[in-house]
Amino acid sequence: MTRPRIAFVGGARPNFMKIAPVLRAVDEVNPPFEPVIVHTGQHYSAELSDVFFEQLGIRKPDVHLDAGSGTHGRQTARVLEAFETFLLNASARIETVMVVGDVNSTLAASLAAAKLHIPAVHLEAGLRSFDRTMPEEINRLVTDAVCDLLLVSEPAGEENLIREGIPPSRIRYVGNVMIDTLVQHLPYAEPNGPATGDRRFALVTLHRPSNVDSRESLAAICEFLIGISAELDIVFPVHPRTKSRLEEFGLSERLGRSGSIRLLPPLGYVENLGLMRNAVLVLTDSGGIQEETSYLSVPCLTLRENTERPVTLTLGTNMLVGSDFEKARQSVCEILQGKYRKGKAIPGWDGKAAHRVVAELSAFLENRHLVSPILQAGA
């Protein structure tokens, strides 16, 4: 008998480390469903996409939608249209869709499924920054509203969904699959990756529009980095969005003139993990890196006013510094003196989350009826 097929949808860099461990767990337990890998093509370059497939051992996608870049509306619309066409193709035989994270592809694929009454599952549901100027916040809200099964990675996710009126029967706490990927690859993480020299170093990653799209904010961050580079080396793998803004605002040269700041292309997973593990601190605006540094017990200063991952502030090593560079400078000094919160274990961040995801997907398929649970409940 053919097994029901679940489309695992990934589109952008942070999706791939969430899908990889679930695919591995599927291979290990042979559950009563067959995964179909759909790459939306939101990220399409070797450095933001292909390298993750290679390093994380994800097999070639079964389907590629080639959505590419564009404005939010255009990118979302292209995935929506292409994914709907795929779902409508009789030979696709997709019975359930699983989307992950909070990128434009997540929103588009969950909408396409919901409109066709195909049950949808959101992995990493319930995260909220309460900041609707962030494109990802809109993606999270809409995705959770239309998905049938919401798989949660941290305690706040459950609380947010309940507060929004989602019935507890649609919510499951599975833990953090990104940590599964980290645990699996830690033995292969390069000791220092591209960092050289004897000085301690900070790893920097930036790509949020609120930090990099305006000259004023990006220039302020660059001045801050130049200031602290008197104390420690800075290793800065530059996201393509950030690279074009640095060039546009004439800031690449300014950073390059400081002998202690190394600008690199975006890194592969194991190179980045090696740097993160060995950095004395990490400065970032990424969501995933706040989680990974918490697990690694590496202090993380987040250049954002809020986080949708508050457990990293209470149990992890994360600290929000926003654009308060005085506070950030002070924190860097304290960290260099060894004064920072070391962090505690976070429930479900144990390297085994993907097996819980597979168990939930199997139970979901077993218990569901022909129409999606949301439609049945009349919600």
Catalytic positions: 207
Q: State in angstroms the smallest separation of the CB of 124 from ligand UD1.
A: 12
Of the candidates 47, 53, 105, the residue with the CA atom closest to the CA atom of residue 81: 105
- Give me the count of residues in the chain: 379
CA pseudo-torsion sign 75, 79, 82, 85: negative
> Judged by CB under 6 A, which of 4, 5, 34, 44 binds ligand UD1?
44
Question: C-beta of 286: minimal distance to ligand UD1 in Å?
Answer: 6
38 three-state secondary structure: strand
Min dist. Cβ of residue 59 to ligand UD1 (A) = 20
Nearest residue (CB) to ligand UD1, 13 versus 355: 13
Q: Which of 240, 249, 323, 375 binds ligand UD1 (CB under 6 A)?
A: 240
Residue closer to ligand UD1 (CB basis): 239 or 355: 239
* Cα distance between residue 350 and residue 334, in whole Å: 29
Residue 48 in contact with ligand UD1, rule: CB under 6 A: yes
Helices (DSSP H) in the chain: which residue ranges? 13-29, 51-56, 72-88, 104-115, 135-146, 155-163, 177-185, 209-212, 215-228, 240-248, 251-257, 269-278, 287-296, 311-314, 325-336, 353-367, 373-377
Of residues 89 and 244, the one with the C-beta less far from ligand UD1: 244
- Residue 17 or 361 having the CB closest to ligand UD1: 17
What mask of x and - would describe binding to ligand UD1 in positions 205 to 224, judged by CB under 6 A? --x-----------------
Q: Which of the residues 50 through 109 are near ligand UD1 (CB under 6 A)? A: 69, 102-104
- The CA R_g of the chain, rounded to the nearest whole Å, is 21
In angstroms, the CA 55 to CA 69 distance is: 24
Does 307 sit near ligand UD1 (CB under 6 A)? no
> 253 to 292, contacts with ligand UD1 by CB under 6 A?
none
Q: CA torsion, points 31, 36, 39, 40, in degrees to nearest 10?
A: -110
| Total interface residues for ligand UD1 by CB under 6 A | 19
Tokens of 346: 């976070």
Determine which residue in the list 241, 329, 341, 352 makes contact with ligand UD1, applying CB under 6 A. 241
Footprint on residues 7-36 left by ligand UD1 (CB under 6 A): 12-14
Rule CB under 6 A: choose which of 40, 42, 153, 293 binds ligand UD1.
42
User: Beta partners for 235?
Assistant: 203, 262
4 binds ligand UD1 (CB under 6 A): no
Q: Are 101 and 78 in contact, with CB atoms under 8 Å apart?
A: no
The sign of the torsion formed by the CA atoms of 232, 236, 286, 266 equals: negative
Query: Residue from 124, 136, 137, 233 that binds ligand UD1 (CB under 6 A)?
Result: 136
**CB-wise, 241 or 341, nearer to ligand UD1?**
241
Smallest distance, ligand UD1 to C-beta of residue 248, A: 11
Residue numbers at the binding site for ligand UD1 (CB under 6 A): 12-14, 42-45, 48-49, 69, 102-104, 135-136, 207, 239-241
